[in-house]
Amino acid sequence: MKPIQTTTSAVTPWAEVGRSHPHESAILHVSGTANYTDDLPEVIGTLHAALGLSTQAHAKIVAMHLDQVRSASGVVAVYTAQDFPGSNQCGPIIKDDPILAEGVVEYVGQPLFVVVAQSHELARRAARLAVIEYDALPAILHPRAAKDASSFVLPPMALSRGDAQAAIASAPHRIQGTWQVGGQEQFYLEGQIAYAIPKESQGMSVFCSTQHPSEMQHIIAHALAIPSHSVQVECRRMGGGFGGKESQSGLWAAAAALCAFRLKRPVKLRADRDDDMMVTGKRHEFHYDYEVAYNADGLILGARFEMISRAGFSADLSGPVATRAVCHVDNTYYLSDVDIRAMCGKTNTQSNTAFRGFGGPQGAILIEYVVDNIARLLGKDALDIRKVNFYGRNDSEGRNVTHYGQKVVDNVIHELVAELETTSEYRRRRDDITAFNASSPVLKKGLALTPHKFGIAFNVTHLNQAGALVHVYLDGSVLVNHGGTEMGQGLNTKVAQVVAHELGLPLAQVRVTATDTTKIANTSATAASTGADLNGKAAQDAARQIRERLAAFAAASFGGDAQTVRFADGQVMWDDHHLPFEELVNKAYLARVQLWSDGFYATPHLKWDSKTMTGSPFSYYAYGAAVSEVIVDTLTGEWKLLRADALYDAGNSLNPAIDIGQVEGAFIQGMGWLTTEELVWNANGKLTTHAPSTYKIPAISDCPEDFRVRLFHNLNVADSIHRSKAVGEPPLLLPFSVFFAIRDAIASVADGKINPPLTAPATSEAILRAITAVQPSSPST
């Protein structure tokens, strides 16, 4: 693998932002000493729980015979929905998601009861002994069947601009069709887990692998009918989350808390991988109908899009996911006349939830598919069609307002794509691949360059807030706590860098502690790529207050102007004065100067009308583009990614090394979604791909040997933390280029004149079907 390239901003010798610091837990990770929830020392008397799961997709529960479960070896107790003192609900928005099924089951794998035993294995074995009587009900297993039956978890949503119907009717060229992209399992390395420890006065302490401790606190409090102040939820780190632990960790936390509450003993509920995949929701599968008009240059004149998602049996976060899909269906392209409809199909399958990108990838890839089709129909390079449709660069061009009404004020996609086109040698490689394919009847190469524009902020405005605490101790060390959660993405490292920079300290003097609902209250989920933006700003606010107090004290004590006091490299300097930070802190303590502070941040200038689906929901946009080159065996459908060039707009990167790692990881994860990761349900509604043996995530051998990732130098126009940009979700759109490179290779079988009917994921079987469809001996499609 070739060395990774990066572009960084110039930093002063003492600056702690903009530097490539290692992840704060890197040594712990590689040495196996990082504590995850299951690694915490167990309290004496700890019991273990397991869930009993439904075997029916949709049925009335006639009776649950649990005597064999209760009498099984090591079993201490069995609890059902009736045992909750409070609410048996864990839905994050709509209360349509029971913790334990009550009266009816709505998918295979839905939890019915929880069994508590002396060990994890005994609890799992006992759970299998239940005898459940069902009265089967009709099941809806496909999103299109849900649409046909008007089965939705939420009312359909619509957004339009201009007159799409008229624009399509009067256009010289039109294209219409259907398409689909599959869902995706989060496949976090650490599964769902909660460890509940009862406290005095009906209190409950829960260690939980979750992206949203405050939501877990609320669910547990409601389930146990106790105040939120009696529930403490703590998360030091997760072994991956990817959205799967935003809302759906609630079921596990509440079930463990119920058992601990009833038994007055610590209870741990840890999901086996199969159970985890059978119970929890995934990325939403999307089905599309489209009609698009364009001219001879490939400029899109009008478009109609209809999107149907597999929501599963409950609403969960399907509404916000669909909203983000609607807001990202434009990707980097200006759509003058457009009509968009989105439906959240209710199916008797797992309730789908957040996954990195949160609907954005499902919206953006549709327009990329359409552009790819238009290019082939016109006999042009898809990159040229993309450029024709890009958003404008300024107001005078009249093409810089999105279909939902937000002005694109920071559009750098023209410059970014131009740079990548040059550095990747796109045009030369295109010619080389054309020559290769002409002389290679079996192995075919493909090439694609795809861009992206991704909005940063929660679509729900009030969620864009965060708090932090910063404590300075007498030895000059600093402790930070904030509302974000660490799931391997480096959030704590970045927040520590921000605080160290603000106080002029080496990074080693700053430590970030576990996320804890008793320290920062009412936090938002670590999601929507806002972790560093929100919590970094809150921590900066807290550190700034301490710095200003120390500066004022220094000037008052020794003379000078507080405005001239500088904090750098562990020293405090002004005029002719020079003090070590620790010494100034001690003097300030003796003078009774407050050495801790809270900080708060709320993202400004956001507005969103959910009824009209218009406003300015995003603080800014993150841009990127990637070029992928693949080779496909047309006899087997096997393929390999030969080279990938990615250029990502991280703004003024807080930590280039971590950001590049995030881009690499997102690229491979997104590639898996679009190629190898296939979710399959059988005719009875059972998920058959519920383990690594049947569900294939990318491995190291799937990474390209030539992987070139660079950061695009671009200060954020928004007042983000040190003018950086988010890097969690947007890079997942970069591997669109892999999918379309595979499609390009398939199209070469017919000399690039036929659009291959390739759906995602592009498994080897799907590739072979597409090859068969475009081969000269086959009818044109």
Q: What residues are annotated to the active site? A: 729
CA 322 to chain centre: 14
Largest CA distance in the chain: 89
Question: To which H or E segment does residue 564 belong?
Answer: none
Q: How many residues does the chain have?
A: 781
- Asked if 246 and 353 touch (Cβ cutoff 8 Å), the reply is yes
AA letter at 697: I
Compute the distance between CA of residue 409 and CA of residue 387 in angstroms, rounded to an integer. Answer: 18
Question: To which H or E segment does residue 154 belong?
Answer: none
Q: CA-CA distances (angstroms) from residue 683 to 139, 145, 499, 687?
A: 10, 13, 55, 10
R_g (Cα) of the chain, nearest Å: 27
- Asked if 626 and 735 touch (Cβ cutoff 8 Å), the reply is yes
Q: CA-CA distances (angstroms) from residue 633 to 204, 260, 444, 446, 502?
A: 57, 56, 7, 11, 55
Structure tokens at 26: 């890197």
Ordered alpha helix ranges (H), 594-749: 656-675, 736-747
β-bridge partners, 646:
626, 709
CA 103 to chain centre: 33
3-state secondary structure 91-136: CCCCCCCECCCCCEECCCCCEEEEEEECCHHHHHHHHCCCEEEEEE
Please provide the DSSP assignment of 9-67 as one string: ----TT--SSS-PPPTTHHHHHHT----GGGSPPPTT-EEEEEEE---SSEEEEEEE-H
Compute the distance between CA of residue 650 and CA of residue 654 in angstroms, rounded to an integer. Answer: 9
> How deeply is 577 buried, as exposed, middle or buried, from its count of CB atoms within 10 A (0-12, 13-18, 19+)?
middle
AA letter at 693: S
Task: State the pairing for strand pair 111-117/75-79.
Answer: antiparallel
Compute the distance between CA of residue 384 and CA of residue 376 in angstroms, rounded to an integer. Answer: 11
Which of helix, strand or coil describes residue 400?
Answer: coil
